Chain A
Amino acid sequence: MRHRRSAAALAVVGSVALSIGLGTGVGASVRPAARVHHTTSHKTKARYPRTLAGSFAFYSGGDTNVQQLWQDVLIPAFNRAYPNIHVNYVFDEHGTNDVATLARVAQAEKNHAASGYALLESATNAVELAARQGLFIPVTTKDIPNSVNVPSASMKVVNSDAVPYRGSKVVLAYNSATVKNPPKTLAQLLTWIQQNPGKFAYCSPSGGGSGSYFVQSVLNSYIPQSVQEQLAFTSNSSLESYWSKGLAELHKLNPDMYGGGNYPTGNTQVLTLLGSGAVQMATVWSDQGTQALQDGQLPKSIKLVDLTPPFAGSPVYLGIPKYTPKNQAILASAFLNFVLSVPQQAKVVKRLAGFPGIKVSVMTKTVQSEFGVLGDGQSLPYAATISSDLNRIWQQQVP
């Protein structure tokens, strides 16, 4: 009857994965990082004067670490640069209202009316879906000069209608106090789960990417590489027949899962189980895991590691809805451009222990080396519509 918390899967197609994977080699960049920084900040000033004034609404759906990133770091920094712009930040935990907000934006577009929001972020695939429907104002290097540093592959996924500003990936978290020899590969992990019934948890794919990407890894272990790529880049649902073996495997693991097959509802619930000692091992988002360790929500004995091959990761996009009033769209563009600047991107990387939205190669050397803490390998997650199907089929066949 009342408020519902339904987090859709965090499943944005991540070609940033590729670009990061390929472009991380330090020194491989064409231009020195410092110079790029200089030029972009100069452009920022030229395009959007400090005197800009007004207010715009920014919808942001994600986990609370993202909320803190905006409210405690990026928006205050933006207000130091643009003291007369008020960012009306609307946070929606886990993207509960992503679909409804998306429907509102879509209807506004149909009516050629303002949706009420000048900028949207979503940790679910909502923004990607919206971009595919052409609901956003296309991103150009003229409006957003700093978008020049964004890897072209991740722009292509959304037809250049939105820009990624951060990324993160899923890692394996384990309690080093009790687990002496953590698994190194997926096969070892699955064996560990069977040998330690009830001590592993992943959240239901509908509830968060940390569960979804574990499931995808298991499914992918039975699928040829070429098909995996198609699942990541196309919406060809006929390829879903390749999933049957992996789903059977997951179903077989049911009794060995936490609570004999009780799947936590979201990423945060998994962290709670891990923190309370209810489970010894789980899949978590790298950024959330790192932050929970810093906050003390997770004990120091919890370690975060990559498997070989690693779980998937994904970029998160920002977009400006069409028919946003001109003055608000300008403010939102100024904000977007600011967020994509190298110094702000460095804050994103530090704060979330995640990936930047722009190419790693243009970041400063210090950030580049810090960023290497967790390793930079990722696998490709499934495309938005495919992962929606996965949510449904998993629910029907696994628990």
Chain B
Amino acid sequence: MSETSVSTEVAEAVVGGAGAPGAPAPRARRSRRSAEGGSRGGLAGLLGYLPVAFLLVFGGIPIVFSLLLMFGHLGGPNAAISELGQGEIPAHGIGTLGAITQLFENASYRQDIFATVMVFVVTAAVVLAIAALLTFWHRLRPSKPLAVLQFLAVIPLFIPVVIASFSLWTFWGDRGFTNSLAQLAGWSNGLIFSGRIQGVILAETWVSLPFAVLLLRAGVASLGDSSLDAGRDAGARPFTIARRIMLPQLRRECTVVFCFTAVGALGSFTVPYIVGPSSPVMLGVDAVNTYTAYNQPQQAAVIGFTIFVLAALIGCVYALGSRSRRVGRG
């Protein structure tokens, strides 16, 4: 339980009392509903806990096992894996921080964390920018090429990640299409992304774009014409309309896109493993390597929780991002 209550506390700290994540921001017009909301809170709560109950059993309990393992409790449910593993630091009493300090004292692990953060922040920003550009533009000035692009941008969703990574690796690789093209144009080894951290960002962007476009598209579709027309009538330029009218109304969608993309890149393994460099590696790759190649389940658990904490931080970004009040929609 402890790690989940940590995230609640973090959320409380960040969000304060106001605007719970995912909730519609308080609206004046909601008086009747919110009066009812009080009496219905119990049922709503029960419904809300359903997926959590499932996750607690099949996700939470294993995570608690991992937490125990991280602090050096090698017996009980962890007995089978820790007997097979090596390099364990057993707990004396409550637990040991040995495995944690061991990893964090390691310079290459700190570099891995830095690389991971950079990749997910840049990827999320780039994906959000591209998706917003495509969808907002098309909402303001619908055109055939934009419609085609929006459709194309969804296609990567249907390509399994392992195959997508593999194809991007060959495509952007030193024997791939782009480098062949560069070579023919007389630019020797000019376009190689595979095996570089930029390649990871490129591939993560490719993989994440469909979700972003789908969600923002649903978002802009729900915007009423009246508010946009009002902007136009007032003589506002499209950029201004996008920034001042669309963005505030779609802030929640944008936040979801940013956070989902970030958390997806944070936890990813296949893309960085296949496309990325040998060093630094992203934490997802680190976790798997530590488990399978280094045979150190305890240290793998530490990496798991590093990712977990970063994910909770991204969750807080969401909490902040969805605080804004919504302008009424026509």
Give me the interface of A with B, judged by CB distance under 8 Å: 1-9, 96, 98-99, 102-103, 106-107, 109-110, 124-125, 129-130, 133, 204-207, 235, 259, 261-263, 265, 276, 278, 384-385, 388-389, 391-392, 395-397, 399
Contacts and interface: CB of A to CB of B under 8 A. Distances in A.
Given A4-B270, A261-B279, 15 more contacts: A1-B267, A1-B268, A2-B269, A3-B270, A4-B269, A8-B295, A98-B292, A103-B80, A106-B83, A207-B293, A278-B175, A391-B289, A392-B290, A399-B278, A399-B279
Given A106-B81, A110-B79, A265-B274, A5 B293 contact: no
Nearest to A386: B86
Given A8-B293, A99-B292, A276-B175, A1 B269 contact: yes
A98 B289 CA distance: 12
Given A4-B269, A106-B81, A133-B84, A389 B294 contact: yes
Given A259-B195, A388-B294, A5 B79 contact: no
A388 B295 CA distance: 6
A4 B277 CA distance: 16
Interface in B52-91: 79-81, 83-84, 86-87
B136 interface: no
Most B CB contacts (10 A, CB to CB) among A4, A102, A207, A395 go to A4
A204 B264 CA distance: 26
Interface residues of B, number: 37
Interface SS of chain B = helix
B160 A2 contact: yes
Interface in B247-306: 264, 267-270, 273-274, 277-279, 281, 284-285, 288-296
A5 B270 contact: yes
Contacts of B31: none
Contact of B296 (A106, A110, A392): A392
B81 A385 contact: no
Contact of A395 (B81, B86, B279, B295): B279
Contact of B161 (A2, A204, A235): A2
Contacts of B296: 388, 392
B208 to A, nearest CB: 11
Contacts of A103: 80-81, 84
Contacts of B288: 4, 6
B192 to A, nearest CB: 8
A384 B295 CA distance: 10
Contacts of B162: 2-3, 5
Given A4-B288, A98-B292, A389 B273 contact: no
Interface in B92-108: 106, 108
B284 to A, nearest CB: 8
B201 to A, nearest CB: 17
Contact of B293 (A130, A259, A385, A388): A388
A109 B274 CA distance: 35
